[in-house]
Structure 1
Amino acid sequence: MSYKTIVTVLDNPDNTRIAADFAADIAKEHGARIVGLHAEVVSTVPLVAPMEIPDPVAVQALQEVVHNQAIEIERLFRSKMEQTGLDYEWHSFASTVGYGTEPLVETARSADLLLAVQPNPSKYSDTQVDVETFLFDSGRPVLLIPYILKEPKPIRRILIAWNGSREAARATFDALPFLKAADSVEILSVSTSEKETHPSKESGVQIAAALTRHGVRAKFETAACSGKSTPSQVIENRLADDSIDLLVMGAYTHSWLWQMIFGGTTRTLLQSMTAMTLLAR
C-alpha cells in the first residue's frame, strides 16, 4: 500500500513553497501524482456608507489582488514540479466561500492523501484553508505540516494518539504507508487521571498486533494526566521527549462523552503543532 494521489492545498505563496516541497518529498517515495489545488477567494466585500452598497472599484481591486496571487501560486507550484520531474496537475477554482465549495471537495475525494500547511496564526490570510471542511466532507486523510517546518524531514518516529474510537482507527490505517516505513511506532492511550482505567487498553493491544502483522514496528503504551495537565499536554510532551516526526490521530466526534474527555485535544494540538500531523475521521 502506498499513496498514489496527493492533493496539495495551496492557499498562499509562502505556504505553496512549503507544501510543494513536502508533497514532492512524499511523492518521490511513493511514486505518486501530485494535484495542486487552489481557490481564488474574495473574503470581504467593501461597502460604501451610508447606503452600504458594494464598492465596485474596491471589489475589482480585491479580485485583481486575489487573481495575481493565484498566478504566482501556480507559477511556484509548476516550477517546483518541473524541477523534480514529478507527475502533476493543477486545479484552480473561483470561490466566494473558501475551500468548502463542491468542486474542491470533489477533487479532494479523489486523493489518497490531502496535504496542507498549518495556518500561521500571525497571518490572517493563511486561514483561507478550511481544513475542517476537508475532514468532514472529503472523507480523506489530511496531512498537516506545521508552519514552523520549512523543509521536509524523514518520518522515522510516529506517535498514534489512541482512544479506541472509529476516528482513531480510520486515521491509523490511513497512515499505514507511513507506519510501514517508520523505524518506530508508539500507540499511546491517555487517561484523564492516574486513577482512571484505560477503556481503550484492550483495543490498543489489538491494534498494535494488527499493525505488527503489516510489518509495522508498533508498541502500545498508556499514560495519565497528572495535576492540572490535559491529554493534549501529555501528547505534546511525548512528541518533544521522543522526537516524534509524525502524530496520527482521529479528528473530532459527535459523542458528548468523548468531547468532555478528549474532544478539545485535536484543536489544541493543531494550534501548537510541533510535528507533522495526520488527521482522519
Structure 2
Amino acid sequence: MEYKTLLAILDTPKNAERIADFAFALSQQFKSHVIGAHTEPLAMVPIVAPMEIPDPASIQALQDMAHAETESCEKLFRSKGDREGISYEWRSFMSSAGFNTSALIDSARAADLVIAPQAEGEMLSGSGSDLESFLFESGRPVLLVPYIYKEVKPIKRVMIAWNGSREAARATFDALPFLIAADAVEVLSIDAPDTATQSGSIAGAEIAATLSRHGVNVTIHSDSSSSLRPETMIENRLADQSVDLLVMGAYGSPRWWEMLFGGVTKTLLHSMTALTLMSR
C-alpha cells in the first residue's frame, strides 16, 4: 500500500506554501499524484440599517478579495508543482458551504490521503470548525500539519496512540506506508485494561506483532496516567521521544462537533507539536 493520490487543502495563502511543500515532498517519496484544492467562499450579504438594503459595492469587494486569495493559492501551487516536476492538478470551488461543499468532499473520498493545515486559534471558530468538520466527513485518513511546522522533515519516528478501538485500528492501518518507511515506531497505551487476550501491561502487543510482519520496526510502551491527563502524557511522550508523526483515532460522542473537539482529540488538535494522522 502506498499513497498514490494526495489531496492537499490550501485554505489560505498564509499556509498554502507549507502545505504544498509537504504534499509535494510526499509525492516524491510515494510517487503520488497531488490534487491542490481550495474553496472560494461566497460573500455574505451585508445589511445597511435601517433600510436593510444589501450593499452591492461591499458584496463585490468581499468577493474580489476572496477571488484574489484563490488566485494566489493557485499560482503558488502550480509554480511549485512545475518546479518539482510533480504530477498534479488544481481544483477550486465556489461555495457558501466552505469546505463542506459536496464537490470537495467527493474529491477527498477518492484520495488516499488528505493533507491539511491545523487550524490556528480557537478550534471552534470560523474556518477552523468548517475545515475540521470537512476532514471527518470525508471518510479518509487526514494528515494535519501543525502551524508551527515551518519546514519539511523526514518522518523517522512515529508514535501510535493505541487503545484497541475501531478508530485506533483504522488510523494505524491507514498510516501503514509511513510506519513501514519509519526508522522506529512506538505503540503507546495509557491506562490499558486487562482483556481476554492480553494484560494491560503489554497492551498493544498484538497490533505490534501484526505491524512487524509488514516489516515495521515497532516497540510497545504502556503507562498509567496517575495524576496526569492522557493527552498531557501523549504530549510529553512526543517531546521526549522526538516523534515526527502521531497516529491516532478521532474519538468521542456521535455528534460530530463533540466527536471532533471533545477530550483527548480536542486538546491534541489545539496544541499540536507533531504531524498528526487521524482517522474515524
The question of a shared fold, defined as TM-score above 0.5 by the shorter chain, is answered with: yes
Other-structure match for 2:272: 273
Q: What one-letter code is carried by the residue in structure 2 that aligns with 1:88?
A: Y
Retained in 2: the 8 A contact 1:119–1:129?
A: no
- 1:76 is displaced (CA, Å) by 0.4
Deviation at 1:215, TM superposition (A): 0.4
| Structure 1 range deviating more: 245-254 or 17-26 | 245-254
Aligned to 2:185: 185
SS in 1 for 2:114: strand
Distance 1:198 1:27, change over 3 A: farther
Task: Provide the residue aligned with 1:72 in structure 2.
Answer: 72
Letter in 2 for 1:182: A
Which segment drifts farther, 86-95 or 48-57? 48-57
d(CA) in 2 for partners of 1:94, 1:226 = 49
Does 52-61 or 234-243 show the bigger shift? 52-61
Q: In structure 1, what is the Cα distance between the partners aligned to 2:187 and 2:53?
A: 56
**Partner-residue secondary structure (3-state), 1:70:** helix
Counterpart position of 2:229: 230
Residue 256 of structure 2 corresponds to residue 250 of structure 1 = no
User: d(CA) in 2 for partners of 1:138 and 1:98?
Assistant: 14
Q: Which residue of 2 aligns with 1:134?
A: 135
Report if the CA contact (8 A) 1:9-1:129 is conserved: no
SS in 2 for 1:278: strand
Q: Residues 263 and 129 from structure 1, CA distance in 2 versus in 1: closer, same or farther, beyond 3 angstroms?
A: closer
How far is 1:125 from its partner?
7.1
Structure 1 position 48, deviation (Å): 1.2
Question: How far does residue 126 in structure 1 lie from its aligned partner after superposition?
Answer: 5.8
Q: Residue 57 of structure 1 aligns with which residue?
A: 57
CA 1:156–1:43 in structure 2 vs 1: closer, same or farther (change >3 Å)? Answer: farther
- Judge which range, 110-119 or 44-53, deviates more: 44-53
- Equivalent residue letter for 2:8: T
- Counterpart CA distance in 2 for 1:42 and 1:267 is 29
Q: How many residues align?
A: 272
Q: Report if the CA contact (8 A) 1:7-1:36 is conserved.
A: yes
Q: How far apart are 1:129 and its partner, in Å?
A: 5.5
Flag the 1:56–1:128 CA change in 2: closer, same or farther, 3 A. Answer: farther
Contact 2:187 2:220 in 1 (8 A): yes
5 Å matches for 1:1-281?
A: 1-42=1-42, 44-121=44-121, 127=128, 130-135=131-136, 137-191=137-191, 197=193, 201=200, 204-227=204-227, 229-254=228-253, 264-281=263-280
Of stretches 208-217 and 38-47 in structure 1, the one that deviates more from structure 2 is: 38-47
How big is the shift at 1:220?
1.6
Question: Which secondary structure does the structure 2 equivalent of 1:59 belong to?
Answer: helix
Amino acid at match of 1:132: S
Provide, for residues 74-105 of structure 1, a one-character-per-residue CA deviation record: whole Å limited to 9, x for no partner.
Answer: 00000010110000000000011210111000
8 Å Cα contact 1:11/1:128 also seen in 2: no
SS in 2 for 1:254: coil
CA distance in 2, matches of 1:151, 1:29: 16
Match of 2:77, SS state, is helix
Amino acid at match of 1:11: D
Q: Which ranges of structure 2 fall in alignment gaps of 5 or more residues?
A: none
SS of equivalent to 1:185:
strand
What SS does structure 2 have at the residue aligned with 1:73? helix
1:12–1:73: 8 Å Cα contact kept in structure 2? yes
SS of 1:143 mapped into structure 2: strand
Distance in 1 of aligned mates of 2:275 and 2:51: 48
Distance 2:221 2:77 in 1: 41
Shift of 1:9: 0.2
Identity %: 51
Aligned equivalents of 2:67 and 2:129: distance in 1? 15
Q: Is the CA contact (8 Å cut-off) linking 2:122 and 2:128 kept in structure 1?
A: no
Amino acid at match of 2:105: V
Q: How far apart, CA to CA, are the structure 2 residues paired with 1:155 and 1:216?
A: 14
SS of corresponding position for 1:130: helix
Matches of 1:223 and 1:52, distance apart in 2: 60
Check conservation: 1:112, 1:141, Cα contact below 8 A: yes
Whole-angstrom distance in 2 between the partners of 1:263 and 1:218: 29
